[in-house]
Structure 1
Amino acid sequence: MTRLALFLISAWLVLQPSPRAHAGDDPGVVFTLLLNRPQTQTLRVVMEIPQLTSTEAAVSMPAWRPGRYVILDPASEVRTFAAFDAHGTALPFRKSDKATWTIQADGTAQSPVDLRIEYEIYANELNLRTRHVDATHAFLDASSVCMLYAPRRADPVHIRIEAPQGWRVSTGLEALDDRTFFARDYDILVDSPLEVGMHDLLEFQVDGIPHEIAIWGRGNWDPERLRRDFADIVREQGAIFGSLPYVRYVFQLHVQPGIGGGTEHYNSTIMQTRPSTFDSPDSYRGFLGLVSHEFFHTWNVKRFRPAGISPYDYAHENYTRSLWMAEGTTSYYDDLTLARVGLIDLDEYMKRLGRTIDALRSRPGREVQSLEESSFDAWIKFNKSGPDRDNTTVSFYGKGALASLVIDMEIRRLTGNERSLDDVMRLMFEQFPHGSDGYTPEDVVTIASAVAGTDLDPIFETCVRRAGPLPLEDALAHVGLELYQKPIKGAWDDELGRTPEAERAYLGLKVASGNIGARVRAVLEDGPAFDAGVIADDEIVAINGSRVEGGTFEQIERSLQPGQDAELALFRRDELVHIRLKAGSKPNSTWAVRMVKEPTAAQIRAFEMWMDKPWPNDEDDKDVGLGG
């Protein structure tokens, strides 16, 4: 059989529902969500479990939601709980742990019972994208709304929505009518959030497959541009994997003040941004990076998933050493996608890449924590900020993206640019379908090595398993790019008579505006303040007698000379403390990326194969110093 025939059969199988997952089958568990008092930010849930054959039934609210690796405990907002049999008789129950209710149902195989559970939830959480209800809408991630009855986890689920007149529903679930939806099992249900309310709806198609953008909020967006730009992202990423693995896709978008971020789901995503996003070209391009990132997850995480988080354990932390690939590789492709389709130009792409490199090389934790360790400890470190975090951790997003770039370039170098990380992604998609046990770290090395035609274990040891630097200079050189230190011209350099190339004073402090001075957020281990005894939450009010405020700390720090003695006056709780130290030094520059001035023919070819566009010939394009 030809490779094309195998591909077509595989693609057809991906799109087929499970044999037991037809909407017309036994309805299984049924949820009814009642939004008849949205102004109170509450909703009532009715859960019906038919033909129960056990004497007890334990139902539980998941402790976390897929896509955010931190325990959220949404059960804390369950306001009331009750259970009834088919005749409306109340059944006794007990709370058996923080998120589980155990009901005395008295069902048997000979005499099964129908169980009806009713509970009320407070829904006032928007930023974490779990559940939010008000007079204009309801956003409901089922992992924080619909309880799990574990023995029926694989059974089909129906969900009904009772909402105010004029509200509509946008969700990735299969619609049976405008208020009733179907999921083939509980896992698909909790991976298909619902946006219910008065939202705008934009529609477009890619390869004949319908897509919709459901927008709650107000903003100055251009509907046609959104359709066009979203479609370009969908088309490019679909080409990487060879197919779009769904029959319909929904982009849910919240446009509200003070929010941002996104979460991937099975055939949908929820994204959040501020209204001002659409008033600035720079902000809008940043937003498209979010769109690109969340959509790439349609394959990377939502189809092929690391072992340890497949299948999900909704009650506990799910450990894996591969979040660097799940999130970091996705981060590598989000901006690369935009550059390939022209939604950002090469200058913007290099600026973003330079910022990521500078952030990593400015973080002391790069020498402490590996990407595998960062992935494993996500539950206790990544989503929990602390003043020592920069000293002991790296981001599996940022460093993961850079490690992916290094691996991509190594594959391209070894294969004469005939193979790449794109091929690794396709093979992962083919070999670890949704519902499998997931891939191991060893699987990734095996597939990447097969693509490269040689053992890539050494590069994974350097980039993934071990803390320390990445060989970025060599990787970038393959495609005619180079790292350099771009001088920072500060607002006060002219006044100080200092050239931009000079070293600058460095105390190793991150600060924010405090009550009367600059509040210390973090003390970096590579600066003199760490050993001198400055600690988090100290409030610096003066340096060498000059008053310090949150907005003037950097100016005063830059006024110092490297090696100069400095006395910090600060309040530690209610006590005035004086700390003396000697200012350290740091290059007055940031890491940035630019194109080499005289590329070889091999570099030009590699660049064009990677970026899918010609090497710029215009001298003005090459001389702008592409980067940070």
Structure 2
Amino acid sequence: MNLSVSKAQSTVNISYNVSFPEAQAHYADIEMHISGLKQNILDLKMPVWTPGSYLIREFAKNIESFSAAAGNRPVVSPKINKNTWRITTKGIPAVTIKYRVYANEISVRTSYIDASHGFLSTSGIFIYPANMLHHPSTIHIKPYKDWAKVSTSLEMVNGDPFTRVSPNFDILFDSPIEVGNQDVFGFDASGVKYEICMYGGGNYDKERLKKDLHQIVEQETAIYGENPNKHYVFIVHNHLKGGGGLEHLSSTVLGASRDAYSSEKGYQNFLSLAAHEHFHLWNVKRLRPIVLGPFDYDNENYTTNLWIAEGFTEYYQGIAVRRTKLYPPENYLDVLAGEFNILENLPGKNVQTVAESSFDAWIKAYRPNENSANTTISYYNKGAIIAMMLDLEIINSSKGIHSLDDVMKYMYTEYYKTQKRGYTDAEFKKGFEKFAGKKLDDFYKKYINGLTPIDYDKYLGYAGYKITDELATNNDAALGVTTVTAPNKKVIVTSVIRGTAAYIDGINVNDELIAVDNNAITDAATMLNDKKPGDKIEVSVMRDGLPLTLPVTLLKSTRVKYKIDSVDNPTPEQLLVRKKWLSL
């Protein structure tokens, strides 16, 4: 940007009015005011994706009734591509833009509005002037009917909860807004004011949540030595069945099941989710891959390091909850074994590296199909396992002096605070090596950029643990499909696992399973009850409306179910690592 353009833009003022005249029909009406214009052309853009969710979502598809005016005079505003509107502003110092947004997708990353509340995922609500991402803006919210509360990390203007200000558009697009009558309560931790806003009801215990989230915040803050926020908001959407989370700079949005808080498993899962998204306020929101900021809101932003950004965060969600000592170490080891089982039961582990999984998130991770298990892995899952491996390697090699915590704090201090930029892949590798005290070229070749099977016993062995496969002695026959039973009781194949009997002998996705050896299938779980590996069977299916019988030779199930056990008589060195690792 040249100096004259920058100087001209310094006088620009941007504000929005958001109202909900038809909230019951899932609409928000947006009125945008821009004044101080001194340019001939003004392009207005809608982001095509939201940071933290690596998929082009085309938010402009939800915009309708776009118009522009200068005073009372309409101004032509043609759409010049999928997410850009162009206005000729020569001699026009100020314009008002009006448009409507349809918001009817329930998720943590998309807006949803109905008569009970409005959730504004801001990257899908607010258009912005091209080349003005650094500009501040003011947001005025006119609530629907009896809505009385606004929850967001954006600061109030003159103490008015319905008027908020954003220093720039990167922060605006990273600050979701909840409007309605949500249940709001909070606590103070690490010098930060925390707000929890609950929409949708639920059987949660406020006092228990405040106490336990306080401990998680303190544990995670201790890793980095500081909490960079003044105000942080947990926006929680409680549904009949809910899940997922999306991180933001000073807030997070969590999906939860409203009645799951009363079970210990459900409650621990919620704490882990909250710990995950809160940990992101350091890892990825500030300590970030170099390409993830400043953002390009028009295109994909590629990185091979989501295994650090997301995988390490998944690892630390379990570690943070473990460090609160709310649950015994066995709970954490069960969670960790679950991560092993997810990876090891995916044929995709032999196809896609964790670096490739990161890079291809834009086209694969958020667009899974029936063959994804055969060709892909999750950078969350394998990244968490790699974090465990590196943590144990560092603790062991330093004789309990250092851990992965030291790497995370060092990288945060060096790149976010000192150099004020993101890191490269090579720079993070050097950070690992600094505290491991050794080169990790071979580790990267095997586990980051390669497909070498993970030696779980080697790394767990540092802490005196080992893995045991609870299915190792089973001799169960397996067809190698996953199925769904339709409302009409039809059993439909939804995936076929590579290398299994079904895969080799030609059972297809969308086949309706009719019978095995002329015995009608009423329950997919019991259709092979009297069969063993090596048996030759005939599977009757309906494919595209036509009957078909397939000869199939059953194979032994290759599924694993690992658990983590202590080795007999762990050494003092192993117990030292164990104590450091599990905060015993």
Please give the secondary structure, in 1, of the residue aligned with 2:527: helix
Summarize deviations over 1:84-128 as a string: whole Å, max 9, x none.
11x221100111111111112224xxxx61121111111111125
- 1:122 and 1:358 mapped to 2: Cα distance? 40
Deviation at 1:517, TM superposition (A): 3.1
- Tell me the equivalent position of 2:492: 519
Please give the secondary structure, in 2, of the residue aligned with 1:278: coil
What letter is aligned with 1:526?
G
- 1:316 and 1:543 mapped to 2: Cα distance? 50
Deviation at 1:54, TM superposition (A): 1.7
- Tell me the equivalent position of 1:216: 199
* Corresponding pairs, count: 570
- 1:174 and 1:559 mapped to 2: Cα distance? 65
- 1:134 and 1:575 mapped to 2: Cα distance? 44
- 2:58 and 2:530 mapped to 1: Cα distance? 48
- 1:585 and 1:291 mapped to 2: Cα distance? 40
- Tell me the equivalent position of 1:544: 517
Asked if the contact 1:26–1:156 (Cα under 8 Å) also holds between the matched residues in 2, the reply is no
Deviation at 1:27, TM superposition (A): 7.6
- Unaligned ranges ≥5, structure 2: 1-9
Deviation at 1:423, TM superposition (A): 0.8
Cα 1:212–1:54 change in 2 (3 A) is same
What letter is aligned with 2:485?
S
- 1:48 and 1:424 mapped to 2: Cα distance? 46
**Percent of residue pairs bearing the same amino acid type:** 32
Summarize deviations over 1:16-53 as a string: whole Å, max 9, x none.
xxxxxxxxx97832111112332221111111222112
- Tell me the equivalent position of 1:535: 508
- Tell me the equivalent position of 1:159: 139
Alignment of 1:240-279 (within 5 A): 240-279=223-262
- Tell me the equivalent position of 1:618: none
Summarize deviations over 1:269-323 as a string: whole Å, max 9, x none.
0001111212322111111111111111111111111122222111111111001
Cα 1:91–1:587 change in 2 (3 A) is closer
Of residues 562, 575, 578 in structure 2, which corresponds to 1:604?
575
1:145 aligns to 2:129 (yes or no): no
- Tell me the equivalent position of 1:586: 557
1:119 aligns to 2:75 (yes or no): no
- 1:588 and 1:292 mapped to 2: Cα distance? 30
Deviation at 1:233, TM superposition (A): 0.7
- Tell me the equivalent position of 1:14: none
What letter is aligned with 1:508?
G
Cα 1:149–1:27 change in 2 (3 A) is closer
Of residues 372, 392, 398 in structure 1, which corresponds to 2:375?
392
- 1:468 and 1:47 mapped to 2: Cα distance? 54
Of residues 30, 38, 41 in structure 1, which corresponds to 2:23?
38
- Unaligned ranges ≥5, structure 1: 1-24, 489-500, 614-628
- Tell me the equivalent position of 1:194: 177
- 2:558 and 2:429 mapped to 1: Cα distance? 37
Please give the secondary structure, in 2, of the residue aligned with 1:117: strand
What letter is aligned with 1:321?
T
- Tell me the equivalent position of 1:179: 162
Comparing 214-223 with 453-462, which one deviates more in the overlay?
453-462
Of residues 228, 234, 238 in structure 1, which corresponds to 2:217?
234
Asked if the contact 2:108–2:255 (Cα under 8 Å) also holds between the matched residues in 1, the reply is no
Asked if the contact 1:81–1:120 (Cα under 8 Å) also holds between the matched residues in 2, the reply is yes
- 1:141 and 1:343 mapped to 2: Cα distance? 33
Q: What TM-score comes out, normalization by structure 2 length? A: 0.95
Asked if the contact 2:13–2:36 (Cα under 8 Å) also holds between the matched residues in 1, the reply is no
Summarize deviations over 1:351-386 as a string: whole Å, max 9, x none.
111111111111111011100000011111111121
Deviation at 1:555, TM superposition (A): 2.0
- Tell me the equivalent position of 1:18: none
- Tell me the equivalent position of 2:13: 28
Q: What TM-score comes out, normalization by structure 1 length? A: 0.88
What letter is aligned with 1:327?
E
1:286 aligns to 2:269 (yes or no): yes
Asked if the contact 1:406–1:471 (Cα under 8 Å) also holds between the matched residues in 2, the reply is no
- Tell me the equivalent position of 2:45: 60
What letter is aligned with 1:125?
E
- Tell me the equivalent position of 1:495: none
- Tell me the equivalent position of 2:416: 433
Of residues 434, 438, 451 in structure 2, which corresponds to 1:454?
438
Deviation at 1:344, TM superposition (A): 2.8
Cα 1:414–1:558 change in 2 (3 A) is farther
What letter is aligned with 1:573?
D
Comparing 514-523 with 267-276, which one deviates more in the overlay?
514-523
- 2:112 and 2:244 mapped to 1: Cα distance? 16
Deviation at 1:224, TM superposition (A): 0.1
Deviation at 1:506, TM superposition (A): 1.7
Deviation at 1:582, TM superposition (A): 0.8
Comparing 587-596 with 574-583, which one deviates more in the overlay?
587-596
What letter is aligned with 2:128?
L
- 2:476 and 2:266 mapped to 1: Cα distance? 31
- Tell me the equivalent position of 1:467: 451
- 2:147 and 2:471 mapped to 1: Cα distance? 57
Deviation at 1:589, TM superposition (A): 5.2
Alignment of 1:561-576 (within 5 A): 561-576=532-547
- 1:26 and 1:341 mapped to 2: Cα distance? 50
Cα 1:65–1:587 change in 2 (3 A) is closer
Please give the secondary structure, in 1, of the residue aligned with 2:107: coil
- Tell me the equivalent position of 1:510: 482
Asked if the contact 2:108–2:246 (Cα under 8 Å) also holds between the matched residues in 1, the reply is no
- Tell me the equivalent position of 1:4: none
What letter is aligned with 2:526?
Q
Q: Structure 1 segments of 4 or more deviating over 4 A?
A: 434-437
- 2:367 and 2:301 mapped to 1: Cα distance? 16
Please give the secondary structure, in 2, of the residue aligned with 1:343: coil
- 2:107 and 2:232 mapped to 1: Cα distance? 22
Cα 1:588–1:44 change in 2 (3 A) is closer
Asked if the contact 2:246–2:252 (Cα under 8 Å) also holds between the matched residues in 1, the reply is yes
What letter is aligned with 2:109?
R
- 1:43 and 1:519 mapped to 2: Cα distance? 40
- 1:502 and 1:531 mapped to 2: Cα distance? 22
Please give the secondary structure, in 2, of the residue aligned with 1:403: helix
Asked if the contact 1:27–1:158 (Cα under 8 Å) also holds between the matched residues in 2, the reply is no
- 1:27 and 1:420 mapped to 2: Cα distance? 49
What letter is aligned with 1:208?
G
Asked if the contact 2:42–2:130 (Cα under 8 Å) also holds between the matched residues in 1, the reply is no
